[in-house]
Structure 1
Amino acid sequence: MSTTDTVVTEESATDRWSDVRDLPPSAKLVAKVLDYNDTLTQSELAEETLLPPRTVRYALSRLEDEGVVDARFSFTDARKRLYTLGV
């Protein structure tokens, strides 16, 4: 890998998180957990982040407003939504 490739990779990683940079710490944490895990429900996010469900719900709404997170309904349980990082 050349120096140019390294710089381009670092710049794309920086641009990837530019939408999240100004959000609250809880939203950043939720985004990072979704980065490590492919798809999670709100309750799974609360377990992984150790944040209260209400805080996770707020973080997800902020991330959805920024267009960083994609949400869809679960086919196994229509009451639940599955969240994926869309960055």
Structure 2
Amino acid sequence: MSTTPEEAAAESPLTNPEFREQLRELPPSAKLVAKVLEGASPLSQGQLAEESLLPDRTVRYALNRLEEEELVGSRYSFHDARKQVYYLTE
């Protein structure tokens, strides 16, 4: 079962007003990481750094802030159990 881009956008947490309000108070790096995760998820910290063009350290800070607000979740990667991957929460 596939979804159209419009359906995928409608399902995105970034369309949720409550999610957006929490995100509004965070630094720009956290907003960028959330936007990257909206398009392609789940991603590792390294993949997020590559996609966002932010330094690894900045991505880690952004992820920590997003996790504190419970806007991002993480789990171990199915491809490499040594890595965690991140995704937007509902």
Give the CA deviation at 1:18. 1.3
Q: Which residue of 1 aligns with 2:67?
A: 64
Secondary structure of 1:77's partner?
Answer: coil
- Deviation (angstroms), 1:77: 1.4
**Structure 2 residue 16 is matched with structure 1 residue 16:** no
1:8-55 Cα distance to aligned partner (Å, 9 max, x none): xxxx63333111110000000000110111211100000000000000
Structure 2 residue 30 is matched with structure 1 residue 27: yes
Calculate the aligned-residue CA RMSD, in Å.
1.3
Unaligned runs of 5+ in 1: 1-11
Identity %: 57
Aligned runs of 1:68-87 on 2, under 5 Å?
68-87=71-90
CA distance in 1, matches of 2:19, 2:69: 12
Query: Which of 27, 41, 51 is the equivalent residue of 2:54?
Result: 51
What code does the residue aligned with 1:71 have?
Answer: S
What TM-score does the superposition give when structure 2 sets the normalisation length?
Answer: 0.78
- AA aligned opposite 1:48: E
SS of residue matched to 1:26: helix
TM-score computed with the length of structure 1 as normaliser: 0.80
> Does the residue aligned with 1:17 lie in a helix, a strand or coil?
helix
Aligned residues: 76
Contact 2:19–2:71 (8 Å) recurs in 1: no
Structure 2: state its 5+ residue gaps: 1-14
